[in-house]
Amino acid sequence: MKRAICIVLVLLIALSFVAACGDKDDGKVYIPVISKGFQHQFWQTVNAGSDQAAEDFGVEIFFVGPESEADIAVQVGMIDTELAKNPSAIALAALSTDAVLSQLQDAHDRGIPIIGFDSGVPNAPAGQIAATASTDNEAAAGLAADHMFPEIKDAVASATPDSPVTIAILSQDVVSASVGGRTKGFAEKMYTLASGANDSVAIIGGYSAINKGDANPAVKIDVVVGATPTQPDMDIAGTAVLNIENLLGIFMSNEGAVNGILNATSAGSIIPTGCILIGFDAGTAQKGAVRNGTFFGSITQDPYQIGYKAVELAVKAARGESVSDVDTGAKWWDASNMDEPDIARLLYD
């Protein structure tokens, strides 16, 4: 009898050890991947990337997210449910950092590393997020400037203060870290490129933090920000952009800005002849505009790599390896490559 009791105790201790390590019965490391949403194709592509990483690294994941990105309480409940399973690590794109502070502390106290992905867990307490897999928005928007500039270089070079030209940026909300980063990234890269062709360039407009350059420039990089992030206000801002004189190009920093321009044209505004339009992200309307030539092209994040790298970082953190933030990259897409498999999977409707 004593021997039987001892065996039971040993088994219980062993099972407790397995649970404490966050492993399933099959020996695989278990990592929940908790997104901001689930239905949108963007998140489905993130899911596909995370599934591939789970296969490559031989771990078990559970991808979950609320129906809507407004469902903060639902996401908090999901985090609580997954913490109760004592996972090896958690990958999290938080809808609200303030709403999950107790969960972050709980995970930290229990030695469960948290990896941020996409927008991550902004302004989380120091040391509670091991690393984040996300797009470098400034670099991504700089890629848009790289593609636009060769198309407008001659006009930029020949501009004078008496006959100035404008390159516009339409942004939905520069308070947002992602949109603000894209706005800054495009403006500063275009400023550098334009300054190589013309010695009179300035960044002006509604994002005063980045304004600089000549007081009476030959080349204006004009940042236009909607009065609010709502689509009606973005449509008004889109109309204002299309009425700018001597407009060479427009960069739209997200899907809301893209729709602001497209809705303005539907309402009767005209895109100036030769104006180069470049968007960001995807969506049905933007894909149509690129395919029919209204847009020169666009930049997309790489949600597949966001999911893949989030799981990769989580696996490494669970193993006690040192991890750091990862740029998941961005892709240029236009009518010539948008149907190629590695691009098409990134372009949600």
| DSSP string across 24-85 | -TTS-BEEEEE-S-SSSHHHHHHHHHHHHHHHHHT-EEEEE--SSTT-HHHHHHHHHHHHTT
Same domain (yes/no): 41, 84:
yes
Report DSSP state, residue 296: S
Can you give the residue range of the structural domain that contains 160? 137-301
- 319, 253 Cβ separation under 8 angstroms: no
Q: 5: pLDDT confidence band, cut at 50, 70 and 90?
A: very low
CA–CA separation, 172 and 133 (whole Å): 24
Same domain (yes/no): 245, 324:
no
- The one-letter amino acid at 323: V
CATH of the domain at 257: 3.40.50.2300
Question: Is 272 exposed, middle or buried (CB count within 10 Å of its CB: 0-12, 13-18, 19+)?
Answer: middle
Same domain (yes/no): 146, 288:
yes
Q: 2: pLDDT confidence band, cut at 50, 70 and 90?
A: very low
Q: State residue 177's pLDDT score.
A: 84
Q: 28: pLDDT confidence band, cut at 50, 70 and 90?
A: confident
In a domain, 336, yes or no: no
Q: Where are the alpha helices (DSSP H) in 243-340?
A: 255-266, 284-291, 303-318
pLDDT digits (tens, 9 = 90+) for 155-210: 999 999 999 999 999 999 888 888 999 999 999 999 999 999 999 999 999 999 99
Same domain (yes/no): 230, 159:
yes
Q: State residue 8's pLDDT score.
A: 38
User: Does position 12 have pLDDT exceeding 80, yes or no?
Assistant: no
User: What mean pLDDT is predicted for residues 92-102?
Assistant: 96
Same domain (yes/no): 14, 118:
yes
Same domain (yes/no): 235, 247:
yes
| Arithmetic mean of pLDDT over the chain | 92
Same domain (yes/no): 104, 146:
no
In a domain, 107, yes or no: yes
pTM: 0.84
Same domain (yes/no): 180, 290:
yes
Lookup result for tokens 């992905």: 117
In a domain, 341, yes or no: no
In a domain, 346, yes or no: no
In a domain, 342, yes or no: no
Q: Which of 85-99, 141-155, 169-183 has the lowest mean pLDDT?
A: 169-183
In a domain, 347, yes or no: no
Same domain (yes/no): 170, 291:
yes
Same domain (yes/no): 60, 169:
no
User: Does position 146 have pLDDT exceeding 90, yes or no?
Assistant: yes
Q: State residue 27's pLDDT score.
A: 62
Same domain (yes/no): 155, 211:
yes
